[in-house]
Amino acid sequence: MKPFAPKPGMALAGLSTPVPVIDEAVLAGNIARVQSYMDEHGLAFRPHIKTHKIPALARAQTDAGARGINCQKVTEAEVFADAGFDDILITFNILGTEKLARLAALNDRIASLKVVADNGITVAALSRAFANGKPLTVLVECDTGGGRCGVQTPEDALALARQIVGSMGLNFGGLLTYPKAFSEETVERWFAGAVALLKDAGIECPVVSSGGTPSLFSAHLVPTATEHRAGTYIYNDRSMVRAGHCEYSDCAMHILATVVSRPTPDRAVIDAGSKALTSDLLGFADYGYLPDYPQAVITGLSEEHGVIDLSKVTGERPAIGDRIRIIPNHTCVVSNLFDEMVFHRDGLVSRVEKVAARGLVW
């Protein structure tokens, strides 16, 4: 029923809940503040589009000065290439017939495509897929303490760089890490060591890329890095407030929900469950922050219900039918749950953007 679809000029109060909404002014402020920091420190900035999955927002980021974008999947990169982005880094070990075929097709149609690898099997598969076409640039992913992917030592980074350099169809693109937050000293030591080894071996290292939003404003403490990548900073969320990266007032995304039940004086039930807020705890004890009821605790989620403990709320408590606002624990995962994202300025819808790269799971 189209009469109810969100459209520009509509008041937020007219939207059906649950619905995430993005404050245009906060969004613009987040983009400008981070780009300005990167410019000040001479760091190339490559935003990760996973947070928003929306080409128009990536365009705002590159218009502000970002150099290229970061995707996590070939399918995501295809969406952004279709939207005109021609400098894309995919930070994933890409394996599998279909993915490699699509990666090669993508490499043929954009100016700069880069991927990462942390092992020789991935490098060998990439080489087989690219040996007879336009070469692909491959960075070595380094585990500097994050505990996810990555070679374990600078010596291993050198060995894998040698393999890339010696592989048909591949160019060595540099080093990359997704670090543990607040570990700048460790990352710098790791990168500096690896860069020295590469230099001794006569291997040019064009890019040294670190990343993450939580300690983004300490990126200058890794002087060996030439590039920083970050996603969450564009919307921000409760976990970024906890990390000290921002204030609640810098959180551009609020999820609007309606109180649908007040079974007891201390319990409210809202129409936002794990399908709206996600069950990402990220170390928190509950599922989101209510700026208008800071003592309220979202104790449980089922798919369509959120259960709120109001026992510690000292002021007025929300009534059935009331709208509440929630700042999610983790904003990126919320984006993946909605086909469209609603933006607003001063409480009026400014635009509705398709979350074009939502649901691209592989």
Residue type, 274: S
44 membership: H or E segment, kind and range: strand 44-47
Q: Residue 140 is encoded by which pair of tokens?
A: 């070595």
Q: Does 351 bind its own copies (CB under 8 A)?
A: no
Calpha distance 152→8 (Å, rounded): 50
Do 315 and 296 contact (CB within 8 A), yes or no?
no
93 membership: H or E segment, kind and range: strand 87-93
Q: Residue 50 is encoded by which pair of tokens?
A: 């996973």
Residues 249-268 close enough to bind its own copies by CB under 8 A: 258, 260-264, 267
Calpha distance 193→177 (Å, rounded): 14
Listed ranges 36-44, 237-245, 290-298, 319-327: which one lies at the site for its own copies (CB under 8 A): 319-327
Q: Does 300 bind its own copies (CB under 8 A)?
A: yes
Q: Does 11 bind its own copies (CB under 8 A)?
A: no
Among 80, 92, 233, 289, binds its own copies (CB under 8 A): 92
Helix 24-40 vs helix 55-64: angle between axes, to the nearest 10 degrees?
A: 40
Give the DSSP per-residue string, 217-249: GGGGG-TT-SEEEESGGGT--HHHHHTTS--GG
Return the closest-CA partner of residue 63 out of 75, 74, 55, 71.
55
Residue 247: partners with Cβ closer than 8 Å, 6 or more residues away: 241
* Beta carbon nearer to its own copies, 135 or 300: 300
* Beta carbon nearer to its own copies, 102 or 220: 102
Among 65, 337, 350, 353, binds its own copies (CB under 8 A): 337
Q: In the complex, what is the shortest distance from the CB of residue 328 to its own copies, in angstroms, rounded to a whole number?
A: 12
Residue 127: partners with Cβ closer than 8 Å, 6 or more residues away: 167, 168, 169, 170
Please give the size of the binding site for its own copies, defined by CB under 8 A.
66
Q: What is the contact mask toward its own copies in residues 30 to 69, using x (rule: CB under 8 A)?
A: --------------------x-------------------
Q: What is the contact mask toward its own copies in residues 68 to 87, using x (rule: CB under 8 A)?
A: ----xx--------------
* Beta carbon nearer to its own copies, 36 or 302: 302
Kindly list the residues in this chain that would bind its own copies in the complex (CB under 8 A).
1, 4, 14, 16-19, 50, 72-73, 92-93, 95-99, 101-102, 105, 118-119, 121-122, 125, 143, 147-152, 258, 260-264, 267, 269, 271, 274-276, 278-281, 300, 302-305, 307, 319-321, 332-333, 336-339, 359, 361-362
